[in-house]
């Protein structure tokens, strides 16, 4: 890493003013490496998760139950990003929150590494809590490295930072997936813990290069607020403890007693948050109009993520049982499919950025609404494409690996059309009162999508059957067409936002 550090002249007082990281503040290297290793641990474990859940040497669950657990886990990660951001703003400050989060994530992976089925779900819970704490705050600290919103390096800094995400996501299945599938599941989970340990060590050693304000609690809780928050948390924890104790001791407990409430929360909480913001009387007419438009984007995004995130569950389980996972006669681990998306992102993102700039110069760049509609159509097309390998498998044959690669390719193109635009439009359309909270609201679209997948699985829907896949694909295409048909209405609600 030292070879990428160069002498440079920067604004006095900027963190890391003696050295820079590719022309950016030295602290970006710390955050880049922390995020890369955290994503390495997260995506490595996630690549193993559905396979371990269905494996005879793992928990040996049904595909429907495995998909439900996977979906609930992912939805929780994004749901907990909002309270994670709250902790950074009100309790610990971003730097301390990220340090604690890294420790919690590492402990979660170590718990998963224990060869005990009883501790497995506790490990998943710890990783979800830690990821939620880290996700919102580490991005905030990247912004703290730059002096004001007008620093020309800011956008480039986030681009470098997001490269760390994709590097970690690309390498994780190749390393953790291979060891987990071929040597031992729990050794794979232990490697995820090692990855987070390296990220945490990097963060603690390099934290002196971070901005001073990353250690500041922006809006600390008053003594009265702390007391009230602790009291409410204790009451809810007590209610949950008593409830599950009664269910457990009465002999009625099953996994659904845990999964159903969590999936319902994943759907209900996003609706409640959007409703609360929309009904806020402090919002002026323009902000109310923008929120009405934003709901269209939110619902569209939820449908998109419902299908897209099945690339790690439904498609992975299908590949494990019904695909020829070979290239030129060489067999590769099923978890390697999870490296396809990040490598495509790294390859295609610069191409899309160039295309948008070229079209913008000619005045032909598609609008935000058209990009969103196109992303939805493509994720629908990806599941229509999924019908081909499903039909091959139903005929008693193994589907070629290239079918799955083609599905991931179409989904990645859809992601590049929808996800960056969604992040951008969220910041542009956020009411002033909720400016710091709206990114968490955007993550709730992922929560809602994954929770819906979880509910389908719990209800007994076989997501690897042509009927359900056709229904999901049709829903995405219809949603995309609806967004496109009503683009004039949505554009009017957006006002000056483009």
Region at 160 (left for phi over 0; alpha for psi -120 to 50; beta for the rest): alpha
- What pLDDT score was predicted for residue 148? 64
Closest alpha carbon to 417 in 364, 474, 377, 387: 377
Flag whether pLDDT at 176 surpasses 90: yes
What's the average model confidence in pLDDT over 62-87? Answer: 93
How many Cβ atoms sit within 10 Å of the Cβ of residue 350? 10
Indicate the length of the chain as a whole number.
Answer: 498
What's the average model confidence in pLDDT over 465-488? Answer: 91
Q: Where are the alpha helices (DSSP H) in 19-115?
A: 27-54, 63-79, 81-90, 94-113
- Tokens matching residue 78: 């994004």
Burial 240-270 (b: 16+ CB within 10 A, else e): eeeeeeeeeeeeeeeeeebbbebbebbbebb
Flag whether pLDDT at 13 surpasses 50: no
pLDDT > 70: what percent of the chain?
Answer: 93
- Tokens matching residue 280: 């806020």
- What pLDDT score was predicted for residue 157? 79
Flag whether pLDDT at 15 surpasses 60: no
Measured N-to-C along each axis, helices 438-458 and 117-144 cross at an angle, to the nearest 10 degrees, of: 160
Closest alpha carbon to 338 in 33, 37, 34, 51: 51
Flag whether pLDDT at 488 surpasses 90: no
Flag whether pLDDT at 494 surpasses 80: no
Judged on CB neighbours under 10 Å (0-12, 13-18, 19+), 33 is: buried
Closest alpha carbon to 411 in 377, 442, 387: 377
Q: Give the H/E segment covering residue 436.
A: none
Judged on CB neighbours under 10 Å (0-12, 13-18, 19+), 62 is: middle
Distance CA 53, CA 46 (A): 11
Angle (nearest 5°) at CA 138 between 132 and 142: 155
- What pLDDT score was predicted for residue 263? 94
Closest alpha carbon to 262 in 86, 104, 77, 137: 77
3-class DSSP assignment, residue 252: coil
How sure is the predictor about 149, in pLDDT bands with cuts at 50, 70 and 90? Answer: low
- Tokens matching residue 214: 């990353």
What's the average model confidence in pLDDT over 86-104? Answer: 93
What are the tens digits of pLDDT across the range 232-249?
A: 999 999 999 999 999 989
How sure is the predictor about 288, in pLDDT bands with cuts at 50, 70 and 90? Answer: confident
How many Cβ atoms sit within 10 Å of the Cβ of residue 204? 13
How sure is the predictor about 272, in pLDDT bands with cuts at 50, 70 and 90? Answer: very high
3-class DSSP assignment, residue 93: coil
Residue 215 — φ and ψ, nearest 5°?
Answer: -95, -5
Burial 283-319 (b: 16+ CB within 10 A, else e): beeebbbbbebbebbbbbbbbbbbbbbbbbbbbbbbb
How sure is the predictor about 413, in pLDDT bands with cuts at 50, 70 and 90? Answer: very high
Is 294 in contact with 277 (CB distance < 8 Å)?
no
- Tokens matching residue 366: 């598609």
More confident residue, 46 or 495: 46
What's the average model confidence in pLDDT over 213-226? Answer: 90
Flag whether pLDDT at 471 surpasses 50: yes
Judged on CB neighbours under 10 Å (0-12, 13-18, 19+), 444 is: buried
Burial 101-126 (b: 16+ CB within 10 A, else e): bbbbbbbbbbbbbeeeeeebbebbbb
Closest alpha carbon to 177 in 34, 342, 307: 342
């Amino acid at each position: 890493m030292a070879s990428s550090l160069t002498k440079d002249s920067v604004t006095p007082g900027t963190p890391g003013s003696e050295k820079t990281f590719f022309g950016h503040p030295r602290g970006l290297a710390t955050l880049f490496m922390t995020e890369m290793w955290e994503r390495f641990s997260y995506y490595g474990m996630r690549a193993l998760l559905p396979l371990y859940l269905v494996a005879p040497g793992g928990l040996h669950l049904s595909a429907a139950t495995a998909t439900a657990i996977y979906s609930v886990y992912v939805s929780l990660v994004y749901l907990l990003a909002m309270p994670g951001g709250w902790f950074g703003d009100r309790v610990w400050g971003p730097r301390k929150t990220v340090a604690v989060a890294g420790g919690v994530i590492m402990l979660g992976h170590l718990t998963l590494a224990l060869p005990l089925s009883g501790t497995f779900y506790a490990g998943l819970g710890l990783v979800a809590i830690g990821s939620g704490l880290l996700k919102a705050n580490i991005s905030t600290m990247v912004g703290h490295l730059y002096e004001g919103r007008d620093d020309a390096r800011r956008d480039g800094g986030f681009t470098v930072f997001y490269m760390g995400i994709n590097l970690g996501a690309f390498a994780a299945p190749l390393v953790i997936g291979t060891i987990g599938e071929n040597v031992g599941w729990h050794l794979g989970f232990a490697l995820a813990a090692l990855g987070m340990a390296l990220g945490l060590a990097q963060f603690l050693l390099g934290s002196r290069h971070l901005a001073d304000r990353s250690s500041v609690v922006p809006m600390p809780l008053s003594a009265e607020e702390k007391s009230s928050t602790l009291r409410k948390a204790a009451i809810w924890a007590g209610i949950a403890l008593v409830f599950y104790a009664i269910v457990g001791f009465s002999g009625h407990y099953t996994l659904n007693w845990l999964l159903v409430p969590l999936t319902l929360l994943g759907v209900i909480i996003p609706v409640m948050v959007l409703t609360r913001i929309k009904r806020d009387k402090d919002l002026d007419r323009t902000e109310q109009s923008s929120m009405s438009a934003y709901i269209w984007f939110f619902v569209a995004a939820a449908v998109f993520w419902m299908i897209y995130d099945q690339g790690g569950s439904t498609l992975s389980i299908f590949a494990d049982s019904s695909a020829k996972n070979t290239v030129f006669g060489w067999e590769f681990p099923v978890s390697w499919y999870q490296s396809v998306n990040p490598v495509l992102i790294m390859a295609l993102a610069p191409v899309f950025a160039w295309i948008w700039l070229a079209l913008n110069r000619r005045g032909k760049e598609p609008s935000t609404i058209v990009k969103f509609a196109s992303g939805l159509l493509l994720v629908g097309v990806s599941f229509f494409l999924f019908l081909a390998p499903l039909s091959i498998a139903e005929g008693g044959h193994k589907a070629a690996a290239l079918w799955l690669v083609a599905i991931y390719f179409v989904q990645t193109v859809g992601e590049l059309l929808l996800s960056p635009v969604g992040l951008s439009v969220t910041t542009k359309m956020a009411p002033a009162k909720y400016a710091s909270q709206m990114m968490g609201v955007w993550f709730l679209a992922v929560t809602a999508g994954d929770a819906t997948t979880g509910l389908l699985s719990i209800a007994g829907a076989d997501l690897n059957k042509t009927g359900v896949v056709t229904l999901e694909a049709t829903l995405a295409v219809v949603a995309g067409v609806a967004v496109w048909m009503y683009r004039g209405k949505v554009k009017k609600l957006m006002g000056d936002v483009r």
